[in-house]
Each structure stands twice: as structure tokens, then as C-alpha cells.
Structure 1
Amino acid sequence: MAYSSGPLNEELQCSICLDVFTDPVTTPCGHNFCRSCLNKCWTNTETCFCSVCEEQFSRRPDLEINTTLREVVQQFQDKLKLEKSEVFCDFCDEREHKAVKSCLTCQSSYCESHLEPHLRVPRLKKHTLINAVENLEDYLCQKHERPLELFCRDDQTCVCLSCTEGDHRSHNTVPIEEESQQKKIQLFQTQTDMQQMIQKRMKKIQEIQHSVELRKRNTEEEKSSSVDLFTDLIRSIERCQSELLKMMEEQQKAAEKQAEDLIKELQQEITDLKKRNTELEQISHTDDHLQLLQKLSSLCSHPHIKNWTEIRTDSDVNVLPIKRALIQLEKTLNEKLCQSGLKCLQKFAVDLTLDSDTANPYLILSGNGKQMDI
């Protein structure tokens, strides 16, 4: 049942089903949900989390009904029922009594007292009675001004008996009650599909969040390893260290931005699906067969949503560019160290001439005694 919008209504509204709380429960983080909605969200999932603040719980919390909040909701619902527009009897003086039934044949609404002839007189007992409504003209055929009692499956529209003798003569028509029951079965399946799509998207959000956290840890490990390495480098390559750290930060920001965009898109689809599911829930419980059939085609159509099965997120840091840079740095460092070592040895260079008489017989000296081979 949908309620009029307002500040109080928003405070008493479940963020999952977008309706006023039913058996409200409170999570450890302080947010409130319908108990059944939260149980559905946590079914077949390894990680339980709040769909409002996204806080994760190490174990599934024990959900007890918030009795105080439930009483507030009940008071709100009772007050709202009193404020609802009422249908009054068309035959009572000064509209004193509320109507209980409306007659599509007579196009009038009756209280219990004035309805009595329709329940007693044989001719009136054949009239079509429905729950009291204000807009009786919506339940009549605009062409023949007769009750819309049948549904044309060929044209997917409600028709009267006169329509079946004219434009819909050869069409497949059934009583409106029969078609309504059939459509309610379809509504149930559609609602089930909607719930599954919501669950898949919420699970995808968990996967993305986990991927971001894993990537963040990997990034921190890589940063720590890189910083340790750069600490040992000489001043001449400090500029390269700064550039590599900047590269890693940019990769992380790009990954978080991608994850943020995916989450926003998923949350938007969840919001749209919840809205449609709420509308389906409302219309599935209505006794207004005409309204159900008129709104059904648009609500049961497949929503325009993305197939998230093919969407993947990468939790690993792209270390290939970093490793290439490190190899280059190592090469540069080795060259600098070799150059430094060579310069250091050159400081202690002396002019040495080897003695062929005292040299090991396995050594072959050059003619000038400056070089040797084995």
C-alpha cells in the first residue's frame, strides 16, 4: 500500500521496498528496515551489510522487531486512513453515510441501507456491484456506456458486452476477474524476477567494494616496497621515485573512479527496480481489476538495464609499467655505482710490472709484463 509523500512518511519508509515499515528492525549501524526486506537482501550472501551506509558486519546480526517504531508506524497508518478521501452514498441527505458499494449499471454509490434493494430485488441483483469508487465513469465503456466486464486478449484492453458484438466480435474475450487472476500470477513472477535482479546488483556492489579494498591493500604493499627501494637510491634518482609514486596514485584514483561510477550505476538500477517492484506490489494487492489491467503492460515490460554478468573489476595493481621503470632505475643505478667504483679504483692506480721469473708457471705474461692470461 503506497502512502502520500511527506517528511514523516520518509522517516517511516524502508529504503529497500520504499514503503512504510512492516515489522521494522534496526541494524547495528542504526538504520531501520522491514524485517522481510532485510532477510531477502541477506539471503544467499556471504557478507551482510547495510544498504544505506554500506557498513559490513562480521557476522549476521540478530534482528529483533523495534516495537517502538512499529507503534509509531501503526499510529501513522491509522491517521492516514482517517485522512483518506471517502466515497459517500449518493442517496443520503447531506452525504451523511459512506458508500460501501458502487453500481456500474446504475452509475451510483450506496451505503449499506440504500444498497439493500440491490441485494433483494431480482432485477437489481443482476446489476454489477464493485467496491465503492469515486470515478465510476472509468469503469464504463466510453462508447456504449456499459460496465467494462470483459477483457479482450487480442487487443489487451477491457471491453463491455456490446463491444463483443461489434469491433471485438471474433476476439478472444474472458471475464475481467479471470484475466485479473492470471495477471496476478504474472505479477508474482515479475516481482520474483525483480528481487533476483536487485540481489544480483547488490552482490555486484559487494564484489566491487571488495575489489577496491583488495586493490587498496595491494597498492599499499607495492607503495611500501617501492618506498623501501627508493630509500636506498642516491639523490640523482629521487625524481624518478616521485614520478613512480605519482603513477601508482593515478592508477588507484582511476580504479576508484571506475568503481564509483559502476556502483552509482548499479545503485540507480536498484532504485529503479525497487520503484517498479513497489508499484507491482501495490497493484498486485488491488481489487480494482480495471486499474490492474490498464497499468500492467507498462509495469511488466522488461526494464532497460545493463547485463552486469560481463562486467569485471580488476583488484590487482598494474605493476608492469612500474617494473619496467624499476628495471631502468636499477640499470641506471648499477651504471652509476660502476662509474663510482671505477673512479674510486682509479685513485689508487699504480704502474705495475709483473716479474716473469717469479710468476706462476700457469700464467702467461705479456711482453711488457703489464697483462697476463691463464
Structure 2
Amino acid sequence: MRTLKGILLGAGMTTILLSACASNNGAKMTVSGLNPAKFDSIIGGKKTELITIKNQSGMEVCLTNYGGRVVSLSVPDKNGKPTDVVLGYDNISQYADTARTPSDYGSSVGRYANRIKNATINVEGKTYKLRANDMMNCLHGGGNTGWLNKVYDVKSKNDSSVVFAITAKDGENGFPGTVKATATYTVKSNNTLDIVFQATTDKETVINMTNHSYFNLNGDPSKEGYNQVMYINADKFTPSDRFYIPTGEIKDVAGTPMDFRKATAIANKYDPSYDQIKNATGYDHNWCLNTFKDGKGDDKTVAASLYSPKTGIFMEVFTNEPGIQVYTGNFQGTGISCKHGIKYPKHVSVCFESQKYPDSPTKFAAKTKGWEISNPYLKPGEKYYSHLAYKFSTKK
């Protein structure tokens, strides 16, 4: 989904007190070329840091507790060269400057990822007005005041895993219920980044968490990424209007540029005259995954994949969720210098957001046909669980 959307419009710069910790001043650079000291800060009275997790197979993932974000993800290419495959910044200042460098790069999004129409939900017969930050809609839980710009607590960490925790108060951005949530990131021995989102609430609410990493597997994010080969395991998708809100239809991908059931270069499918692509200036849509059947998601079967013929890096995506939003960097290309000073062009990346369908609170409450599998409601005593995994390998 878009990086520089209405998500953070009107936001002022988050109050930052930079205070590089002496303990990190001598820290060595990460494999991806990050300086941990540039992530040591105090934001909103809470300490931020860079955390590195890795395995013995050449995979390194660097994260910050600011937004529970993946900052870099390095895996070997076909020649064994470590390659950072996600977009982002190389310092905490840019992540936290929601006025000049707004982004959702790599974040753990909550309380509700994607859009809710007219920023309104109905829970237990009561209407709640949410924070509108994407025109009249609520996007990613309220944008600059949502979880992607909160400092998570580091609940635990070791060489291969970190657990981020957050508590969202009742009424935050208009949402009912105090929610306690965690995002657990684990690097596995087979070069998989495994992500588990969990949450509980003290009052019925809606919840939809995801990771928002932008992938470019080519090893050069200064160039467009439409040469990447994409596969989406879905026979259907949910068309959207010009405001990116699903119409309520569930349409077949057959015969349209939305059909990625056979892996193909994105450029080969891209048709700017097709209404859905024209509206979004690229792909920014939800696909209804074939891996979700009978009310349960199969997170052992590939939901989507991405491949770079240039580096040979191959990524498979697994999830237990019913849908996946695929966004192709349509609003990148702003001229802002990002990680290592690179200015990302338009269509440089692909984001795979595992999720409940966009605007599920509206469509589910209205009993829209086909949306019954996308129940966004969480009640007290229930436990929310969402699984997402990115598995990397290479092809010669």
C-alpha cells in the first residue's frame, strides 16, 4: 500500500530527543550497513534502539522498536553476496519525522491495517467515529498517531528473535477497547523471517495487524522493480473505487491484469488502461487467497511469491489470513533520500500485507456476500492470532 498517502497528512514532527547511547557508539556496522547508534533515541519518553537478529545461513534482519519495524533484511544472492531486500531509512530521525519523511516502511501496523470507509465502525450496536487520515477514511489505524509511529516495548530478545509489545488505550484514535498486542519476529535456520501477531482486548473491537515491508529483490532500489516476477495464489480479488475502498464485489482474476496465478514479471501484466490499475496508478489491491478455506488459513502453502532474475533471490509468502494486499510502490518516487542516500523511484518495490479484507468492519457488518470469512471483530476473552512468514532461497 502507498508509502506517502494521506496516512500522515497534517502531522507534525514527533517530539524527538536524540541521545546516542555511549554503549552503542562503538558498535560495529551491521551486514546491511546500518550504524546502530543512529537508532538510539528517546521518542515520547521511550527509548528506541536497533535490534539485530540472524541465523548461521547468512540471513540478518535489523529492526527498531519504533513502530516495530523491519529496517533491513539481508539474504545471500545467487552468488552468496549479502543483499538487503527491503526499503527504509538508516536513522531513527527520518522514521520519526512524520511531517517531512512520513512512511510505513517495515512497520507492525495496528490496530487496523488498511482502510475503513468513512472512518466509522459499529460495535455492539454503537457507532464509533475513528480518526480520518486518508481523505474521509481511516487508514492503518490512524496514520501518524497509529501503532506504526508508536514506540513498542521490547518484551524479550535473543540472537534470533525479538518480541515487541504495545498497549493501546480505549478510545485511541476512536477505537473502542484497551488492546494489548505483541509482534514476534524470528529468523529461522532456513532463511525464513517468521512473524506472529497476537492481541487481546477488554472490550469488543476490530483488529487487523500486518507487517508493511517493501521488497526489492534486485539489489538496486534506485531502479524500478517491475521486472520482478510475482505469483499470487488467488482466483479472485476485491475491486476498489477511486478512494481505494472495496466496492463489495468479489471478482475473478481470469482474463484481467490481476491474474498472477502463473508467475510472471509484473511489467508483463501491468496495463495502465485497466480501471483498477488506472485508479491506483499501479497495483494496490486485495486478493482473496486460495489458501484460506472453510474458515481457516493454510500457512504451510505458498500464498504469494516474488523473484528477481537479476540476483536469483526468491521469496515465498505464507499466511493464515484470508486476504493479501499487494502494493507496488505507486506513491514512491518522491525524491526523498532514504537508506544509504538512495532516492527510491516509483514502482521500486512490492509490499505483501496479509490481512482481513480492506473495510471488513463495514462489509462484514452489512453481511456483504463473500465477506463472511473476513470477520474483523475481537471480543474480550478471545485471542487474536495472525501469522505471516517470508521465506528466502535462490535460483540460478
* TM-score normalized by the length of structure 1: 0.19
The structure that is strand-richer by fraction is 2
* TM-score normalized by the length of structure 2: 0.18
The structure that is helix-richer by fraction is 1
Greater relative contact order: 1 or 2 (C-alpha under 8 angstroms, separation 6 or more)?
Answer: 2
